[in-house]
Structure formats: C-alpha cells, structure tokens
Amino acid sequence: MLILGTGIAGLRSAIEVLKASNEKLSVGVISKVHLMRSHSVAPEGGAAAVLSENDSFEQHAYDTIKGSDFLADQDVVEEFVRRCPEEILQLEHWGCPWSRNEDGSIALRLFGAHEVPRTVFAEDRTGHFLMRTLYDTLLRYQNFERYDEFFAVSLVVEEGRFSGLLALKRKDTSPVFFKARAIILATGGLGRLWEFTTNAHTTTGDGFAMAFKAGIPLKDMEFIQWLPTCMVPHGIPATEALRGHGAILLNSEGERFMKRYAPEKMDLAARDIISRAIMQEIMEGRGWKSHGNMDSVLLDARPVGEEKLLTIYRTFVENARDFIGIDPLTELVPVRPAAHFSMGGIDVDIGMKTEVMGVFAAGEVACASIDGANRLGSNSLPMCLVTGAIAGRSAVSYAIRKKESVKVSKKRIFEEVDSIEKIIGKRGDFGVYSLIKRLQRTMEKNVHVFREEKGLLEALKTIRQLKEDYLNVGLSDSSRAFNVELIHLLELGFMLDVAEVIVTSALMRRESRGAHYRLDFPYRDDNKWLRHTIARCRNGGVEISYKPVRITKWKPEERRY
C-alpha cells in the first residue's frame, strides 16, 4: 500500500491503514519533502466539530451547505459533520494539546459563516500540533517505510487498475518504481499557480495532474478559494479567527465597509463574500496602497486585545512584525485576498474511491463534494482527518480483496524514465522560472476573484502557448544530485495541466456561484448550473461534462450573511 503525501490527510490515512489491517499490509509513505515539512504544519485557525450543547450536526451541515452556495453533495456533508467530533476526540486521546477553557473542556471559537462557535484549536499552531500528534501516533506502528524527498512522476494504471507509482529520488535523480496494490493520493493543494498565495512552494497541484493524466476525472476545478485577509506583500494569512475575536476590516476612508456586503455577519461572512467585498473596495478606489505597491484594505486587530494577541495569536503578531514591519498591537495591517484552497479535486465517492480501481484520494486533492463552490472556514482540517480515515479503511478493504498483483508494462516505465533523462542538461529557448512566472501572472490577472469571458479566453490561450514553450525549455543544471531546477520543471508541467482544467471549467460555467464569480454572468443560475463540473483528459485536452448535485434536506436559497 502506498500513501503519497505526508500532510494531515496522508498521515491520518497511513495510521488508519496500519490500524485497520492490523499491520498485515506494509505501507510506503512517500513525500516530496521531509515528512514534517508538509504544508499542513501551517494552519493556525482550527478545526470545526460539533462539541457543545448549543450546536448540532444539523446546524453544522446547514452552515457547510449554505457556505458551499448549495453545490455540496448533502449526503456527504451529513456524513462528514457526524465524523468530525470523533476525529477531534481521537486526536485528543492521541495527545493533541487542544486549547482549554478554565473548566478543562476543549475551547471553541467562532469562525466566519458559522452560526455558533465550533472551532477547536491548539493556540495558533493547530496544524503543527496536529502533524506532531499524527506523526507520533504513526511511530507506534512498525510495518511502514518512509520515503522522504521522493518526487512522484506518474501513476501507472494497467487495464483499469492501479499497478504502481514512478518517482525520482531527489538525492541523485534516480528513478524508482513502487509496485503496490493500492495508493492513497494525499498531495495537498495547488496554490502556487498564483503569485499571491498562502501556500507553500511545494503545493503545485502534482496529485491533481497525475490523476488527470491517468484517466481519473477532476471535479469542480473552477472553484478556488481566496483567503480574504493575507498580509501584503507576502500572502501570509492573518487568520480568520482574529475576526471571530473582534478584529475588523477598514477601507482607506476608515469605514467598516462589510456593512454594505454582509450587514448581519459583517466581518464574519463567508470567505467568498469577504474576498469580493475587499476587491470591490479596491476597484472602486477605497483601497490602501501598501508594501510592494499592492492595493489592500486594512485589518484592525486591536479590538482583539493585547492578551489574546500575545498568546493565541502570537504567530500573527510575530509575522506582521518580522515580515512587514508592522506591530498589530498598535498599527493597522494591510491585507488582501490570496489564493488559498481548491474546493475541486479528484472525483471520489463517499468512500474516497476514484474511477480507477486501487486509487483513492484524501484531503484537499480529493473532491467528495463537501466544499461545493466555497469551503466553510475551519472545515479543512477535519476534512483532512475524516477523508484520510475513510480512504485508509476503503483502501485496506480493496487491497485485502485484490491480493493478486497487476502486470506492469516495463516498456512504458522505461519510456517515461528515458524522457526525463533527456531533459537533464537539455538546452532550449526558454527557462523554467520565466515560464512559471508567466503562468502565475496570467492566473493572477485573469483567473482571480472576478472573472469574465475575455480574460478567461486570454488565460487559456496563454496556458496553451506555455505548454508549447514547455517542450522547448532548457535546464542550466546538468547535475544529478538534488537537481532542483529539474523538479521545478516537472512541477511546471503539472501546473500547466491543472491550470488548463481550471480555466476551461471556469469558462464553461456561465454563472456566479461561491468563489467562481463571473462579471458577465453575475447571478447564480440553479436551473442550468446546479451541477458538478467533470473534467477528463481526452486526446491531450480537456473534455467537460456535468453531473447533478445530491440534495437531501436543504433546497437552494439566497445566501444572506
């Protein structure tokens, strides 16, 4: 059994595979970086779960579905919210140091678009503590092997079944073929397709692209979440939890502008609504010109109070002081939306299974339709835990049933290895980094908070030209040891494939829903577009089809915050 990715979803999957199989299955845990360098260490805010008497599964499910702009599959959401508390309590039993109330109970705080406080946290290092807890728990098992700093190149599928994974050992660029009955893809996000992003440099959409190329459809890829409050010019998040404790947004005139966009929730509306509001203020001339000549609005964190800022929000304070030279205890912080999270991903069912036998997915790279068109804040960490656990159990069930191995085409593997060998030291007309920059600037300009047909067509034209230029890229580094330029080139190939899917999906969806806002089609259209976008790889291009959203209890209605 292989686990590709060692963030929260990957580690949770690995633990579940070992636990559910009673360690009868050997597990290979593969990461493109050192295991604890996963981007999952970064989240500060917390994890949503129903843990108080004032809350209910019904309320959490409704908040999630409303936040999704009614594109979430409601049966999946109902199952998700029921499993969230189980995962939180399981993490507590494994040793996660959740922040506490004075009576010893787990503390809960309010996040945007939640009707009640339900977000558990571990000071402002929630992702870090989750990762440490999961890693410590994994070490209690024996039958697994770590493969740190292995770069996955492609999934090998034979006769409709997964047969193995081709990867490069980054230490010396040697190819390695991992043969296995099953794989769980937990490769995280794709935020590095944009210039201004909250994501680590490793989040380049690898898993999305490998699945797509292997014939597995991607779903709802036009829906990219922008985190509204990211510090300019670096994209470092000013966590949403700050606004739950009183921080407010101001324009250059000192006005609390959210009263015009979400009069009830104000600064605690859904992320897509706040992101559009910020960009609208900037477009209408009420922005603030700040670091790097970037337009922004201002976050006033002073209402949170010095005690909280120096304890549960000290990371935010340190980042503001160290990276932009501003002290949030006394000054306003310039912020604007940054690319943050992909609501879409590899199309999986409620058991985290894909169309290809033996391939499962979990975490951000998977799309079981929990998030729909807009993810509810603080749902991502429990989503990684829940989908990781489900994927682990499903993969074990499959691997135990399918004991016979799949015959592998050595010719195909040799061809792929040979194509990579020819790249090393290759001379060409284009450099890797110039192409990456062109892609990021194109996505930033044309595939952002506000979109329209003209810009999307321009983006698609540029991406296709970049794919042609990619074939004529030269590498200045011909060494075998830790050839970072080669890895970035391979990542660029993944990024271009994923970008084409995102833009094609966005161009086809002629409505505005959640994080996908079309200036030329500014209204939601449930009659035509209450359906999921399905993208398949066909003849080297993107083929789009659709399937219905599953609705159980909550009929679509106008979102008001």
- Which sequence positions are flagged as catalytic? 271
Torsion, Cα 380 384 390 395, to 10 degrees, reads: 140
Q: Tell me the C-alpha distance between 374 and 514, whole Å.
A: 5
From CA 273, how far away is CA 376, in angstroms rounded? 12
* Alpha helices in 252-366, H assignment, sequence order: 271-283, 306-309, 314-324
Contacts of 253 (CB under 8 A, 6+ apart): 286
Residue 444, Cβ neighbours under 10 Å: how many?
Answer: 16
Q: Which structure tokens are listed for 233?
A: 């010019």
In angstroms, the Cα distances linking 29 to 2, 152, 200, 363, 532 are: 6, 12, 20, 15, 32
**Cβ proximity of 44 and 239 under 8 Å:** yes
Tokens of 333: 């912080």
429 to each of 66, 212, 424, 434, 495, how far by Cα in Å?
49, 28, 15, 11, 20
Q: Are 505 and 220 in contact (CB under 8 A)?
A: yes
d(CA 365, CA 345): 5
Burial class (CB in 10 A: 0-12, 13-18, 19+), 175: middle
Between CA 446 and CA 448 the distance in angstroms is 6
Identify residue 453 by its one-letter amino acid code: E
H-helix or E-strand spanning residue 361? strand 359-361
> What are the CA-CA distances from residue 424 to residues 1, 174, 230 (Å)?
31, 12, 37
DSSP, residue by residue, 134-190: HHHHHTT--SEEEEETEEEEEEEEETTEEEEEEEEETTTTEEEEEE-S-EEE-----
Cβ-contact 174, 166 below 8 angstroms: no
Tell me the longest C-alpha to C-alpha distance in the chain: 68
Place of tokens 């329209």: 452
Q: Are 487 and 520 in contact (CB under 8 A)?
A: no
- Identify which of 107, 133, 192 has the alpha carbon closest to the alpha carbon of residue 436: 192
CA separation for the pair 267, 304 (Å, rounded): 13
